Amino acid sequence: METKKIVITGGPGSGKTALITYLEKEGYPVMHEISRQVILEAQKAGIEQLFLENPILFSEKLLEGRLKQFHEGKNCEAPILFYDRGMPDVTAYMDFVETVYPKHFPKTCVENRYTEVFVLPPWEDIYEQDNERYESFEQAEKIFYFLKIGYENYDYKIHEVPVGSIKERVDYILNKLKTVI
């Protein structure tokens, strides 16, 4: 049986990481978001906001890291593996900032498909900016739109996760997975 690769995505500050952490504590295997790691490595090298200063380089590093996670997922023996963001997030963010990207970006997204995609909507009550999250809430709302369109452009049927407690959101995802996979 092949492991089902499930993406949890959404704009910044929508609760993705808290949801992924909860799933992990419940015993589900997860692949954690790598963008903060890329940001922190760039900051150590003296680049305050790599995405703003060199969006192509930043996005290339994300795409490479997420592709590596995708391939590592093939070694997972569990029935379901959750990803905190997927490869199409990269092109969606590039579209958001209106930056032309290399042709291999969408090619990589097309050739490496996830099983299901869940998107978390913006949620102002939990939104916080921090050192790595520089976007305003209004920008987070626009990013959410670009993520939905981005995944749909790769022929994914996305599932929008309702706002609610982490447990309610996890229950929604797990119940939806029972009906679609």
Q: What is the pLDDT of residues 32-85, one digit of tens each?
A: 999 878 888 888 888 777 777 888 988 999 999 999 999 999 999 999 999 999
Complete edge-to-edge strand list for the sheet that includes strand 30-31 = 30-31, 80-84, 4-10, 116-120, 158-160
Q: pLDDT value at position 124?
A: 66
Q: What is the DSSP letter of 75?
A: G
pTM: 0.90
The count of structural domains within the chain is 1
64: domain CATH number is 3.40.50.300
Q: pLDDT value at position 2?
A: 87
pLDDT by 10-residue block (mean), the chain, 181 residues: 93 88 97 86 81 85 95 94 97 94 97 97 67 67 94 97 95 95 78
Domain that holds residue 80: 4-180
Structure tokens at 118: 């869940």
Q: pLDDT value at position 125?
A: 67
Rounded CA gap, 45 and 41, in Å? 6
Instruction: Answer whether 95's CB lies under 8 Å from 150's CB.
Output: yes
